[in-house]
Structures are given as structure tokens and as C-alpha cells.
Amino acid sequence: MTLLCSLDEITDGEARGFEINEQKLVAVKHRGELYVYHNNCPHRSIPLEWMPDQFLDFDKNFIQCSTHGALFRIEDGECIAGPCIGDRLDTIPHRIEADQVYIELPGAMTQK
């Protein structure tokens, strides 16, 4: 597992971008739950945001791609509107221990 951040670095209702081992990630805290995805829109395989840490739609109910406006459910990453409807963001498995967020990066060396 790789340390992402401490849990209180992400405010509820907000998202943050990270780059770890050259992989771009987005973490969203939504209604007290944390979700971590690859920051990669399935439509064109490009990062979702245009401005740093701006990943959510106006009402903060969906992750929104800044390029063509695809909307993804925060809870499971499924695209529910836009050009890649039905596709999903790649989930990054994570674990919270002592208020620290650890993630399982594909291809990363695992640390115990």
C-alpha cells in the first residue's frame, strides 16, 4: 500500500488531485465516504480537470470531465451522461488507517 494523504486533507464535498509514481489520481470525499479513482477520462484517456482540484460539477454531486462535460457518479465512477456514458473511471482500492489514506496502485511495489 502507498500513502496518499491524511484523511483531513480532503474536505467533505470536495475533491483533490494527486500524482504518485507518475499516476494521476483523484480522491473525493462525499457524504463522509472517500472514493479514489484514476484521473483519466475514459472518453479520450486524458485527465479530467482543467483547473487544479476542480473535479466536481456545480452542485458537487458528480465528478465532471472538464473537456466534454461527462458526468460520473462519485460512488462508483460510472458515467451517467456525456460521450462515454456507461463507461467507468478506474477505481483505486484504498484503506484508511489511523486517519491516513493508503492506496493500492497497480504496478506499484507493495509495502507492508
The C-alpha atoms of residue 75 and residue 67 are separated, in whole angstroms, by: 21
Cβ nearer to ligand FES, comparing 30 with 82: 82
Residue 85 engages ligand FES in binding (rule: CB under 6 A): no
Candidates 5, 6, 47, 50; CA nearest to 23 is 47
Residue 41 engages ligand FES in binding (rule: CB under 6 A): yes
Among 12, 33, 46, 53, binds ligand FES (CB under 6 A): 46
Cβ nearer to ligand FES, comparing 68 with 95: 68
**Which residues are CB-contacts of 46 (< 8 A; sequence separation ≥ 6)?**
40, 67
